[in-house]
């Protein structure tokens, strides 16, 4: 997998304004407003910035938080977890390892078998239905 390198202008030309805000400016969409928070279809969730497959519907669960939540990622090498102490909170940010896009955060309050919750912005994802 080759790393995606685009200028800020190139990102602005390829992403919607909301996707740019979330993926490139580390923004967050409002809860219960994204396309995928309540989607129950079978398939894969890809990075909206570069198309890397990150999560699968089999690991998605309803965390009642208003964002798509997953108890595991497809492959740990496809995401990067970084300590985020912004806004006086201690969290762990999740970014795409391929393009560096901000996806959301991971928390230690998910279901078994992992006990973790990847809380991911819909705007940072594209959905590919299972065929």
Q: How sure is the predictor about 2, in pLDDT bands with cuts at 50, 70 and 90?
A: low
Question: At residue 18, does pLDDT exceed 90?
Answer: yes
Which one, of 22, 45, 38, lies nearest residue 104 by Cα? 22
- pTM here is 0.93
Contact between residue 103 and residue 47 where contact means Cβ atoms under 8 Å apart? yes
Rounded to whole angstroms, the Cα distance separating 130 from 57 reads: 9
The closest alpha carbon to 95, from 44, 32, 49, 31, belongs to 49
Name the residues annotated as catalytic: 119
The whole-angstrom separation of Cα 42 and Cα 64 is: 19
């Amino acid at each position: 997998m080759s790393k995606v390198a685009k200028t800020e202008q190139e990102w602005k030309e390829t992403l919607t304004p909301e996707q740019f805000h979330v993926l490139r400016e580390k923004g967050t969409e409002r809860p219960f407003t994204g396309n995928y928070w309540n989607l129950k279809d079978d398939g894969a969730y890809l990075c909206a910035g570069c198309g890397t497959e990150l999560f699968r519907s089999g690991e998605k669960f309803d965390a009642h938080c208003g964002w798509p939540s997953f108890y595991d990622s497809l492959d740990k090498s496809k995401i990067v977890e970084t300590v985020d102490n912004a806004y006086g909170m201690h969290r762990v940010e999740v970014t795409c390892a391929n393009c560096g896009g901000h996806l959301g955060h991971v928390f230690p309050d998910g279901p078994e078998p992992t006990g973790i919750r990847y809380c991911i912005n819909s705007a940072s994802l594209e959905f590919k239905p299972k065929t």
